[in-house]
């Protein structure tokens, strides 16, 4: 009787085949990374968009790896909004999509994902893309509803749209 290793069995059940011989891969990869200045501007623009509507919010911008690049809390925003905004952005990084769209599409796994450190499945975060590459996400929290948080994030991304489109 042959004994299969668990990874082999799992791969076979998923229809994964053995990797084929390929050309050597480079030791270094060129990666697009969001700058502090762009992250700061997006966070501030999101807060200003919400202020214009009378909302006190926090905005957090994560880089492509999910690390905080900029975090701003408006003067009267609750301290908890920072963590929520960061976790919303984490969801957007993980899924590569709008956190609200992900929430609607994957309500079946929402409870499980909400227990993962750094993630929360709530509306209010958008991915940041430059020249087709995911470079980060912006999460907003504190407005009366995730749709309003997302609108502030969208307004911020609209304001820097040209910088993102023409990124080298």
Residue 126 in contact with residue 92, Cβ under 8 Å?
yes
For residue range 103-156, list pLDDT tens digits in order. Answer: 999 989 999 999 999 999 999 999 999 988 999 999 999 999 999 999 999 999
CA 140, 135, 44 angle in degrees (round to 5)?
35
**What pLDDT is stored for residue 62 in this prediction?**
98
Q: CA 144 → CA 21, 47, 61, 68, 138, distances in Å?
A: 54, 14, 20, 24, 18
**What pLDDT is stored for residue 6 in this prediction?**
45
pTM for the full predicted model: 0.83
For residue range 40-51, list pLDDT tens digits in order. Answer: 999 999 999 999
């Amino acid at each position: 009787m042959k004994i299969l290793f668990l990874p082999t069995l799992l791969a076979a059940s998923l229809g994964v085949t053995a990797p084929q011989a390929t050309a050597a891969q480079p030791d270094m990869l060129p990666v697009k990374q969001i700058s502090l200045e762009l992250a700061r501007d997006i966070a501030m623009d999101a807060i200003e968009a919400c202020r214009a509507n009378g909302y006190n919010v926090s905005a957090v911008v994560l880089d492509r790896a999910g690390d905080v690049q900029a975090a701003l809390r408006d003067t009267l925003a609750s301290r908890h909004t920072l963590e929520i905004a960061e976790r919303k952005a984490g969801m957007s990084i993980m899924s590569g999509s709008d956190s609200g769209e992900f929430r609607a599409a994957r309500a079946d796994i929402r409870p499980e994902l909400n227990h993962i450190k750094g993630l929360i499945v709530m509306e209010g975060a958008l991915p940041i893309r430059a020249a087709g590459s995911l470079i980060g996400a912006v999460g907003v929290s504190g407005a009366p509803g995730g749709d309003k948080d997302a609108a502030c994030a969208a307004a911020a991304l609209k304001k820097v749209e040209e910088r993102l489109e023409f990124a080298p």
